[in-house]
Amino acid sequence: MAFELQLQPPGPAVLAIAKKELRETEENVKTGLAKLKELLAADKQLHFKTDDDFLLIFLRPCKFFAESAYSLMKRIADFKLNNASLLDNLLPQDEKTALLDYNVVNVLKGRDHKGRRVLLVNVGKTWDPSCVNADQIFRIFYLIHELAMLEPETQICGTVVLMDFDGLAMKQAMGFTPSFSMRLLTFIQDAMPLRLKEVHIVKQPFLFNMVWQMFKPFVKDKLKKRMFFHGNKMASLHSYIAPSHLPKNYGGDLPEIDYTGSEWYPNLLKYEDKIKEWNSYGYSKNQAGGTENGDSI
């Protein structure tokens, strides 16, 4: 099946999750939207559109507390400013070769048993850092998150990351840099408008410890509690993601993965107008109000 974004309104089961986990009631939605619009109207430096569906992207992960959603939007603007050299005017065609020819970043076509999107990152033997460097992996992450956050069900149920380190060798270990580690973790912990529910590390060899030491200093307690290290014990992974929703590659009941991240590329092109729109958001060009140290992150 071809990959398609799911943009339809959430059904009753998903809305029940939203009510239970995100405080999403008619009254909280109304109050949250009104307050967030007030905060944005009073901020002359911050530029985001303010229609209801768009603002839900920020209110949902913040459980409809408008001040928290506003802070998230400011952190996003800061992050875009601090990483302008990588993110300014980023479009799908900028990473076309990396997406079409190298199977580093992929998305499982089906959701997991909790309705969550599953991002698969192949950073073991599959990854050749001389062809796709760490900065490019981050740019692909960033492009994919711009589509994922358009899906109401993903906004509510969240995302899971599966990092496959099978066959990790020194070539790949050296491909990770401290700047990449800090940038990625700053993004997912502070500047990503999606609920990251779990990160699963699988098939990691002993050499992984060297990579982990690079990431570990930047991992905050909240994320640390959501990171799980399984090695080759797929039964351990199955205690978090049901095998009925995993491919055979990970001991699951579904067929082996026969697709790559290249199947995301047509969708990135299809929604390129949304990506261009996102590129325009943040601090007003003549009033950039973030940190002043350029691309320090």
Residue bearing the bigger pLDDT, 178 or 90: 90
Tell me what the mean pLDDT of segment 29-45 comes to.
99
Provide the CA 206 distance to its chain's centre, in angstroms: 27
The CA-to-CA distance between both ends of the chain, in Å, stands at 38
Give the 3-state secondary structure of the chain.
Answer: CCCCCCCCCCCHHHHHHHHHHHCCCHHHHHHHHHHHHHHHHHCCCEECCCCHHHHHHHHCCCCCCHHHHHHHHHHHHHHHHHCHHHHCCCCHHHHHHHHHHCCCEEECCCCCCCCCEEEEEECCCCCCCCCCCHHHHHHHHHHHHHHHCCCHHHHHHCEEEEEECCCCCHHHHCCCCHHHHHHHHHHHHHCCCCCEEEEEEECCCCCHHHHHHHHHHHCCHHHHCCEEEEECCHHHHHCCCCHHHCEHHHCCCECCCCCCHHHHHHHHHHCHHHHHHHHCCEECHHHCCCCCCCCCC
What average pLDDT does the structure give for the chain?
95
- State the pLDDT confidence band at 295, using cuts at 50, 70 and 90: very low
pLDDT at 289: 45
The answer to whether 135 and 93 have CB atoms below 8 angstroms apart is: no
- State the pLDDT confidence band at 141, using cuts at 50, 70 and 90: very high
Residue bearing the bigger pLDDT, 3 or 104: 104
φ, ψ at 71 (rounded to 5°): -65, -40
Q: Is the pLDDT of residue 288 over 60?
A: no
The answer to whether 112 and 106 have CB atoms below 8 angstroms apart is: no
pLDDT digits (tens, 9 = 90+) for 208-252: 999 999 999 999 999 999 999 999 999 999 999 999 999 999 999
- 153: Cβ–Cβ under 8 A, 6 or more apart, which residues? 6, 10, 14, 111, 115
Tell me what the mean pLDDT of segment 163-189 comes to.
96
Tell me what the mean pLDDT of segment 100-122 comes to.
97
- State the pLDDT confidence band at 278, using cuts at 50, 70 and 90: very high
pLDDT at 284: 85
pLDDT at 63: 99
- State the pLDDT confidence band at 2, using cuts at 50, 70 and 90: low
| pLDDT cut 70: percent of the chain above it | 95
The overall pTM is greater than 0.85: yes
Tell me what the mean pLDDT of segment 2-14 comes to.
92
pLDDT at 287: 52
